[in-house]
């Protein structure tokens, strides 16, 4: 669950540790004292705590750096608000330097050694041991404290990230603190987005610490969180002059008999997402099976060869190829033939895995009008070792997109969308109820529908991921991919209303 403490949304960018350091340094150059930034950070954590819990015995675990300095601010503000507070220090307080030393000096209470910390004596513990820049495993007293927290039932609040988690990475090789609430500053970090690090954070809020405008200068293309104002929805109005062919033509390749269900889900999702005409291109043996499944989706028989000619005949604005298509040389040839025509294409499932033995052949044919939609297993087959070599899926997807020359949508609890030019977005607007068979096929159809309606592939993938995630929130418990199809119109309606409300507020200057 992500929340924001600021009166105005700080912004959608994701910052790695180096980027956050640059933003802090920019603020100082603009005249914001670093002590002021630390005071605001600590105040943000303290206010978040007091908004959630009544006063109770609290332990503040302070580390040897600026994260520990934040801890001393938190301790002071909680004590001033009437909380019983005990501070524990990892290391000698006299060894602190700079802002952390100054904030420790403002704390007038006792400071005990972390070695004397006993979890059972406290109802709330603030983890201010290490921040996002930690690049080593927890050890010594910090490791002991982390283990004791895991064994007791008390509320745990992490400052920036749980100790033991590197802010740039999606995982941790060693032990880390498991928090109920994590309060970070200015922008989310990669570790806040991706599992398993995400699972250690609990609820996450972002505090605006007042870094002035202009901090983005020279930062390059920063990853962005997909948000409603930045997505493009299909036109769902009542213009009587619109013809079905004017709302986009989408084609979906069907699989062999007994395996057409995935393609049918994609095709119906395309219709639900606004495409005016959707055609299932069926091998002759699959035609009757596919035709009997839907009254609204058109079905056409295709020959085993000349797939490029088939596409020329149907003139699709976009093609979805791969769901349930079968892992064989015929599919490989059809994918390459489709790409050779330059048609906008969504390559999903089998259309990706069929090239596991020769990904370079696929990469040579790809272009930036194509969207690849792998889950992590399919991504690993196309880009062996890339996920393991990358700190987070953000880096992996960006590298995969640049390597292949196509847009890459890497599916997961947080879905990453990357463009070959280096742009990256991540969608966190999604329900866990989407974890059901066929959900990915529905997403492929939505992407194809948006592309067929004239939305550029990268923007279509971003927008489709958000719409797909919204549809997940409309699913009932136990909802299936077929139920997901049924709620796409309601998701479109609710997003359209909210987008219009935000635009109206923006026009009014509110």
Of 222, 254, 278, the domain-final residue: 222
136 is in an annotated binding site: yes
Of 194, 222, 250, the domain-final residue: 222
Closest CA to 325 of 266, 371, 275, 365: 266
Q: Contact, 493 vs 233, CB < 8 A?
A: no
375 is in an annotated binding site: yes
Residues 357 and 460 in one domain: yes
Distance separating alpha carbons of residues 486 and 472, to the nearest angstrom: 11
Residue 227 lies in a domain: no
322 is in an annotated binding site: no
pTM of the model: 0.92
Task: Dump pLDDT digits (tens) for 476-505.
Answer: 999 999 999 999 999 999 999 998 888 888
Full residue range of the structural domain in which residue 276 is found: 239-506
Q: What percentage of the chain exceeds 70 in pLDDT?
A: 95
| Mean model confidence pLDDT for the chain | 93
440 is in an annotated binding site: yes
411 is in an annotated binding site: yes
163 is in an annotated binding site: yes
Task: Dump pLDDT digits (tens) for 106-153.
Answer: 999 999 999 999 999 999 999 999 999 888 899 999 999 999 998 888
DSSP character at residue 13? B
Q: How large is the angle between the packed helices 481-507 and 457-474, nearest 10 degrees?
A: 110
Q: Give me the torsion for CA of 284, 289, 293, 296, rounded to 10°.
A: 10
Mean pLDDT computed over 32-39? 98
Residues 414 and 300 in one domain: yes
Q: Contact, 327 vs 354, CB < 8 A?
A: yes
399 is in an annotated binding site: no
Residues 190 and 260 in one domain: no
Task: Dump pLDDT digits (tens) for 209-252.
Answer: 999 999 998 888 899 999 998 999 987 665 554 555 567 999 99
CA distances from 224 to 26, 230, 306, 462 (A): 20, 10, 41, 10
- Please state the separation of Cα 453 from the chain's center in Å: 25
506 is in an annotated binding site: no
DSSP character at residue 195? T
Domain count within the chain:
2
Q: Is the pLDDT of residue 459 over 80?
A: yes
Please say whether the dihedral angle defined by the alpha carbons of residues 327, 333, 334 and 337, taken in this order, is positive or negative.
Answer: positive
DSSP character at residue 476? P
135 is in an annotated binding site: yes
Residue spans of alpha helices (H) in 140-230 = 140-150, 197-201
CA distances from 340 to 155, 355, 367 (A): 57, 16, 9
Residues 27 and 146 in one domain: yes
What does the pLDDT read at residue 2? Answer: 40
Distance separating alpha carbons of residues 510 and 494, to the nearest angstrom: 21
82 is in an annotated binding site: no
- Please state the separation of Cα 214 from the chain's center in Å: 25
Of 167, 197, 222, the domain-final residue: 222
């Amino acid at each position: 669950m992500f929340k924001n403490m600021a009166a105005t949304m700080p912004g959608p960018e994701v910052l790695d540790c180096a980027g956050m350091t640059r933003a802090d340094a920019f603020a100082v150059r603009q005249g914001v004292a670093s002590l002021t930034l630390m005071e605001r950070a600590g105040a943000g954590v303290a206010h978040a705590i007091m908004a959630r819990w009544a006063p109770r015995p609290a332990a503040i675990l302070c580390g040897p750096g600026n994260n520990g300095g934040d801890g001393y601010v938190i301790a002071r503000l909680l004590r001033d608000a009437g909380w019983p507070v005990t501070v524990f220090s990892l290391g000698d307080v006299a060894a602190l330097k700079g802002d952390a030393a100054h904030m420790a000096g403002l704390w007038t209470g006792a400071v005990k050694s972390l070695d004397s910390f006993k979890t059972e004596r406290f109802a709330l513990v603030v983890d201010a041991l290490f921040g996002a820049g930690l690049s080593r495993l927890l050890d010594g007293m910090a490791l002991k404290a982390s283990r004791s927290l895991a064994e007791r039932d008390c509320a745990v609040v992490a400052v920036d990230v749980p100790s033991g988690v590197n802010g740039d990475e999606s995982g941790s090789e060693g032990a880390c603190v498991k928090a109920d609430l994590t309060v970070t500053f200015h922008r989310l970090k990669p570790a806040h987005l991706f599992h398993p690090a995400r699972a250690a954070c609990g609820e996450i809020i972002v505090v605006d610490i007042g870094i002035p405008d202009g901090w983005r200068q020279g930062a390059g293309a920063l990853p962005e969180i997909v948000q409603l104002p930045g997505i493009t929805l299909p036109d769902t109005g009542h213009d009587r002059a619109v013809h079905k062919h004017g709302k986009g033509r989408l084609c979906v390749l069907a699989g062999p008999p007994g395996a057409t269900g995935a393609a049918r889900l994609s095709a119906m999702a395309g219709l639900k997402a606004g495409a005016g005409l959707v055609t299932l291109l069926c091998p002759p043996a699959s035609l009757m099976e596919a035709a009997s499944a839907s009254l609204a989706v058109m079905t056409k028989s295709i020959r085993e060869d000349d797939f490029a000619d088939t596409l020329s005949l149907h003139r699709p604005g976009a093609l979805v190829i791969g769901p349930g298509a079968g892992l064989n040389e015929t599919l490989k040839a059809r994918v390459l033939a489709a790409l050779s025509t330059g048609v906008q294409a969504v390559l999903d499932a089998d259309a990706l895995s069929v090239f596991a033995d020769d990904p370079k052949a696929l990469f040579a044919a790809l272009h930036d009008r194509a969207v690849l939609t792998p889950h992590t297993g399919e991504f690993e087959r196309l880009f062996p070792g890339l996920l393991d070599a990358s700190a987070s899926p953000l880096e992996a997807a960006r590298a995969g997109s640049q390597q292949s020359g196509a847009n890459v949508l890497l599916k997961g609890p947080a879905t990453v969308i990357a463009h070959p030019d280096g742009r990256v977005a991540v969608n966190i607007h999604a329900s866990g109820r989407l974890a059901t068979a066929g959900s990915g096929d529905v997403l492929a159809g939505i992407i194809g529908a948006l592309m067929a309606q004239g939305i550029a592939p990268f923007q279509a993938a971003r927008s489709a991921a958000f719409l797909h995630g919204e549809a997940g929130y409309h699913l009932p418990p136990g909802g299936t991919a077929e139920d997901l199809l049924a709620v796409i119109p309601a998701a479109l309606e609710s997003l359209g209303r909210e987008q219009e409300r935000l635009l109206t507020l923006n026009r009014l200057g509110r």
